[in-house]
Amino acid sequence: MQDFEFIKAKTIAEAVSIAAADEDAKFLGGGQTFLPTLKQRLAAPSVLISLNAVQGMKGVTIEGETLTIGGGTSHAVVAREVNEVFPALAKLAGGIGDPAVRNRGTIGGSLANNDPSACYPSAVLACNATIITDRREIAATDYFQGIFATALEHDEIIVAVRFQVPRSANYQKFIQPASRFALVGVFVAQYSDRVGAAVTGASGDGVFRWHEAESRLVDTFDPSAVEELSVSPDEMIEDLFGTKDYRAHLISVLTARAVRAIVSVL
């Protein structure tokens, strides 16, 4: 690793000001995604700006059907505190990494990094959640822009994420055993007027909505509605963990499983 300056910001304004003055500065949340890239010299920031001491970025608030999670909230806290109102999201958060990762990693850090195999993006996109930054609100459909790419500006911070809690939802994840990242993950969210189905871990373009499945499920919310559907393998990731065809097949299988799990408790 090359030398860098480490600054522990006390306020959002301070953190933004430091980043705005140096295009090579990077924000640091829990560090569970960024620090490994730093060790591998895949990132070379001049300044690391820790957000851990910034007030107002942690915690969960629930108002009616609206759930807001601070960007600095750890996966462990999400798993524990949203279980009653949004059990599918709690299950997702509780399945990220190991206890050390869950206690350090944050929802804001995960979304800012937008790893193609991260779990949170599938839930955020399926629910069309709102990313709240220090200066604006971004709909999930506009936020994700490809692998490791988002709508965030260099000096923009995710302050919170706001969900409209679905009527029912489920997350199915086929894990890479070593990393516990998703080889493929599918989040299905059912609302009164629509269904969201988003896929992570599979596509070379990052997280995406499976629109064909959504259309079928709006008409008939049953596993049979998607069991015969297929996803083209052309844009899927191929690596030592799985072929393009394998990942495409998993999308169909996991989507049907998610729907079946939802139907079983309705």
> What is the pLDDT averaged over residues 210-220?
97
Q: How many CA atoms lie within 13 A of 23 on its CB side?
A: 0
> Rounded to 10 degrees, what is the CA torsion of 168, 163, 115, 59?
-110
Q: Distance of CA 168 to CAs 101, 187, 221, 264, Å?
A: 27, 11, 11, 11
Q: How far from each other are the two terminal CA atoms of the chain, in whole angstroms? A: 52
Share of the chain above pLDDT 90, in %: 85
CB 52 within 8 A of CB 83: no
What are residue 195's DSSP bridge partners?
190
pLDDT for 43 equals: 73
Domain with CATH 3.30.43.10 in the chain: 5-50
Q: Which of 48, 39, 44 is nearest to 6 (CA)?
A: 48
pLDDT for 42 equals: 66
pLDDT for 251 equals: 98
- pLDDT, one tens digit per residue, over 86-132 is 999 999 999 999 999 999 999 999 999 999 999 999 999 999 999 99
Architecture of domain 168-265: 2-Layer Sandwich (3.30)
Evaluate if residue 160 carries a pLDDT over 80: yes
- pLDDT, one tens digit per residue, over 141-158 is 999 999 999 999 999 999
Domain with CATH 3.30.390.50 in the chain: 168-265
pLDDT for 45 equals: 82
- Per-residue DSSP letter, 67: E
> What is the pLDDT averaged over residues 240-248?
95
pLDDT for 265 equals: 86
Domain with CATH 3.30.465.10 in the chain: 60-164
Higher pLDDT, 42 or 83: 83
Q: How many CA atoms lie within 13 A of 231 on its CB side?
A: 30
Architecture of domain 60-164: 2-Layer Sandwich (3.30)
Give the Cα separation of 35 and 186 in Å (integer): 27
Q: Which of 3, 14, 39, 43 is nearest to 26 (CA)?
A: 43
Indicate the pairing of strand 47-50 with strand 25-28: parallel
Evaluate if residue 1 carries a pLDDT over 60: no
Evaluate if residue 181 carries a pLDDT over 90: no
pLDDT for 260 equals: 98
- pLDDT, one tens digit per residue, over 31-54 is 777 776 777 776 778 898 999 999
pLDDT for 46 equals: 87
Mean per-residue pLDDT of the chain: 94
| Residue 64: Cβ within 10 Å count | 8
Give the Cα separation of 56 and 170 in Å (integer): 29
Please give the class, per CATH, of domain 5-50.
alpha beta
Give the Cα separation of 81 and 116 in Å (integer): 26
- pLDDT, one tens digit per residue, over 216-241 is 999 999 999 999 899 999 999 999 99
